[in-house]
A and B are shown apart, each in its own frame.
Chain A
């Protein structure tokens, strides 16, 4: 339960399960969740207009996980996920115009138009993808965690997967090594309850996914992924656990995606009632707004005004991104090798 309080200096704040959140921080979390929501809606529209191609996986409904975890992490911590990555990279603070330009396949895309929806990277912000093969990012995250152990650099890796990815073999190989060597990794499962069209109970013998680390002695917890304050609190605990040298930890965040798996999925495998129950009953943005209003920290009008501003901003971002040219054709040949060998075949930068 969230309550309004004033801290020692008299600034308004909200206390959630003993954790104090400043008004500024609450607005930040709210605005980023709402921004992601509107950004994804815009991406959906642009896809409908055939301006975005290929696969496009939206995270509407899952914003609290992206934002809560980001608020719990430090900038130097590594973060990597699977292909449903727009929300995470935006929460991480990457340039939204570059993210939109990437979706549109433009020159100013965050990875120069070479990755698209599934391959967002931002090395400056330690966002390590954007990986397209389900579960593939988990051994890579293990390696990032290993590097922190090797260098003793105090960083934690937030390695994110879904309730689909959790069934890949490489995940368990990674759990084992992470636990064996006590690597500073938080394995976060975004359990949105459907792996594409397959519901959790049709894919997992043990549906309590936070227990999946038990045979590796990895502690696990299940949290409400529709509550940004709960995500922030428990991810902070998990990150602290990993940073303190106690080894990996597993967090299962229960969440829900409002849209289909990808843009081509009408999601007929679940009922409208079920979607509505999550959408109207448990929406993470409405929830934080209500908490803040109830605590007397904000008003409904204020949020309405913010929403108008954010929609305007997203429209401007989309316009700016769309106005960018496509990548220079010469870009096709760049970034294949860091150390290209000029005098051997296939010759860098040319055919034949």
Chain B
């Protein structure tokens, strides 16, 4: 095992795949000479040269479409959005082109592109730069949506995403970029569509992805002090969803709290709790509860920002309610 940061894990994944396959290239704003706005692509220009690590103008729709076309021609582009907030400008290419091309072309044109970048809230950057939009893209057939919560997952999942023949929406988290974690020294791949039990427990299931996995683990520590043994499940891939791991956990704990940073209405938590109702109704001893971001745009002020996001305390409280301890 090596101890590296989340950003280094992503960097290693890209470098290893670019060394393995000459069709893989990285393109985006500031990825080359600046070494990445968040330093995820540090050193890659030196290693692979300007033909494979390419700075773009600020032109999200254009370079997202370039990625789609290059993928249709058989290359394997990694298209970096500095953040997913800016990918909103590219939504036509992601949703209307990348996602549907294989189907519309009757199976003729695969689109093996990875769209990646930071999603979710950053710190003190207000409404337009702090939002979780994974539910938008998780709704679209043809896309796969992946959100790693730690360095080991980040590396293994990104390698899988690059090798995948479908368009993959790979959403990282800016706050997590500096997190340090243990990563296997040898090469490994984490298959898409597999959840991970981050902490086993008996009393309540906490389902949380991306940065919220860490919040759920912190909540589980607090709950343990109160005598509640929480199991934490990270879906890792949002679409398609490894619901079996979640349902198995609920069959054991009979209680569930779904945590997400995004807005509540039609969010990921809504889908997961609906699936538990549809498939695991008889296992439930209490309604599934959701802890989500508040239904408001993100404010700048530190206190309002904290209030808008889900908190460890809210997760603890929801788990207490779900287990009848509140």
Contacts and interface: CB of A to CB of B under 8 A. Distances in A.
Check if A and B associate.
Answer: yes
Interface of A: 78, 109-115, 119, 121-123, 128-133, 136, 138-148, 150-151, 169-170, 173-174, 176-177, 180, 334-339, 341, 343-347, 352
B142 A344 contact: no
B165 interface: yes
A337 B102 contact: yes
A335 B97 contact: no
B105 A344 contact: no
Contacts of A146: 66, 69-70
A139 B69 contact: yes
A133 B93 CA distance: 10
B68 A143 contact: yes
B141 interface: yes
Contacts of A341: 144, 191-193, 237, 240
Contact of A346 (B51, B104, B141, B194): B141
28 contacts: A110-B106, A121-B105, A121-B106, A121-B109, A123-B105, A128-B72, A130-B105, A133-B96, A136-B93, A136-B97, A139-B61, A140-B72, A141-B69, A142-B65, A143-B70, A144-B70, A150-B25, A150-B51, A337-B102, A338-B112, A338-B165, A338-B166, A341-B144, A343-B244, A344-B194, A344-B240, A345-B240, A346-B141
Contacts of A119: 104-105
- Which of B59, B62, B74 has the largest number of chain A CB atoms within 10 A? B62
Contact size range, B = 35 or more
Contact of A173 (B59, B104, B112): B59
Contacts of B110: 338
A131 B97 contact: yes
Contacts of A337: 102, 142, 144, 166
Of the listed residues A110, A119, A150, the one surrounded by the most CB atoms of chain B closer than 10 A to its CB is A150
Contact of A335 (B65, B73, B106, B194): B106
Given A339-B164, A343-B244, A121 B108 contact: yes
B69 to A, nearest CB: 2
A43 to B, nearest CB: 19
B241 interface: yes
A109 B106 contact: yes
Contacts of A150: 25, 51, 70, 75
Contacts of A133: 92, 96-97
B278 interface: yes
A201 to B, nearest CB: 27
A243 B175 CA distance: 46
Contact of A136 (B77, B92, B242): B92
Contacts of B166: 337-339
B152 to A, nearest CB: 20
B71 interface: yes
Contacts of B144: 337, 341
Contacts of A132: 96
A111 B105 contact: yes
